[in-house]
């Protein structure tokens, strides 16, 4: 498992300076900023993180589920309501989304959490880049692409990064290249060439579930 501390150490080796010197030069505070840049690039171009947004949709607010204290449970909306996708959302996904109608009879051998129907554009659709509208009552599991991680300025060195290693290997090189840009442009350019080679070796992500083709119209 890679940690943020390991990523920092590799970047310092590439810069050939100590952490104290990097701090004096202001590089250490720049590390998370440059790390976010490269993770965003990789996530949008090559390998996004597969995520699902699970929520329920009702016809009336009176149907909203409540907890033991009488408070309305989160992630519940109304049919036709504008629903904003979760923080970290970057784009819609080609993976299959699921929809369980409220009135669906669940066979005894299927657990209630098992998705049983593929959601199509007849069940939900995007209104803006990160907002959707659902057209029927039911439980939805909407597939989407999200950020792998967001590096804060004070991210602890012990933070374990749940990110594919081929992506993490790119971060120190990119960070070093950006830090060297103002002081050693030639070395920065060489480092950026190394980054581009690492970038090209990242394994592309493919949808692992079959996609259905639906043709609308009176055929």
pLDDT in tens, 58-69: 999 999 999 999
Tokens of 130: 């990160």
Mean pLDDT of 144-171: 94
Task: Look at residue 61 in the predicted model and tell me its pLDDT.
Answer: 94
More confidently predicted of 105 and 38: 38
DSSP secondary structure string for all residues of 94-154: SSPPEEEETTPPPPTTS-TTS--SB--TTTEEEEETTEEEE-SSEEEEEEEEE-S----TT
Q: What is the dihedral of CA 120, 121, 126, 132, to 10 degrees?
A: -60
Alpha-carbon gap, residue 217 to 219, rounded angstroms: 6
Task: Look at residue 114 in the predicted model and tell me its pLDDT.
Answer: 52
- Is the per-residue pLDDT at 210 higher than 60? no
pLDDT in tens, 48-106: 899 999 999 999 999 999 999 999 999 999 999 999 999 999 999 999 999 998 765 45
What is the Cβ-side half-sphere exposure of residue 33, based on CA atoms within 13 angstroms? 7
CB atoms under 10 Å from CB of 215, counted, come to 5
- Is the per-residue pLDDT at 116 higher than 70? no
- Is the per-residue pLDDT at 211 higher than 50? no
- Is the per-residue pLDDT at 128 higher than 50? yes
**Checking DSSP bridges between strand 98-101 and strand 138-146, what pairing results, if any?**
antiparallel
* pLDDT tier for residue 109 given thresholds of 50, 70 and 90: low
* pLDDT tier for residue 46 given thresholds of 50, 70 and 90: confident
Mean pLDDT of 25-35: 95
Radius of gyration of the chain (CA): 23
More confidently predicted of 12 and 217: 12
- Is the per-residue pLDDT at 120 higher than 50? yes
Query: In this structure, what are the phi and psi dihedrals at residue 22, rounded to the nearest 5 degrees?
Result: -65, -35
* pLDDT tier for residue 24 given thresholds of 50, 70 and 90: very high
* pLDDT tier for residue 218 given thresholds of 50, 70 and 90: very low
Q: Give me the sheet containing 124-128, strands edge to edge.
A: 82-84, 131-134, 124-128
């Amino acid at each position: 498992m890679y940690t943020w501390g390991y990523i920092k150490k590799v970047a310092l080796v590439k810069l050939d300076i100590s952490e104290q010197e990097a701090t004096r030069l202001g590089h250490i505070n720049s590390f998370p900023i440059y790390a976010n840049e490269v993770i965003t690039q990789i996530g949008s171009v090559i390998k996004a993180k597969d995520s699902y947004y699970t929520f329920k949709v009702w016809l009336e607010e009176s149907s909203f589920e409540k907890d033991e204290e009488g408070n309305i449970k989160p992630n519940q909306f109304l049919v036709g309501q504008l629903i904003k996708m979760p923080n970290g959302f970057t784009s819609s996904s080609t993976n299959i989304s699921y929809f369980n109608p409220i009135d669906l009879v669940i066979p005894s051998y299927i657990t209630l959490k098992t998705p049983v129907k593929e959601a199509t554009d007849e069940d939900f659709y995007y209104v803006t880049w990160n907002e959707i509208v659902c057209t029927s009552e039911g439980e939805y599991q909407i597939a989407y692409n999200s950020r792998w991680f967001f590096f804060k300025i004070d991210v602890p060195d012990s933070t374990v990064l749940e990110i594919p290693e081929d992506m993490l290997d790119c971060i120190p090189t990119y960070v070093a290249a950006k830090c060297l840009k103002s002081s050693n442009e030639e070395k920065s350019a060489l480092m950026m060439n190394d980054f581009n080679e690492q970038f090209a070796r990242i394994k592309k992500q493919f949808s692992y579930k079959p996609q259905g083709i639906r043709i609308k119209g009176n055929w």
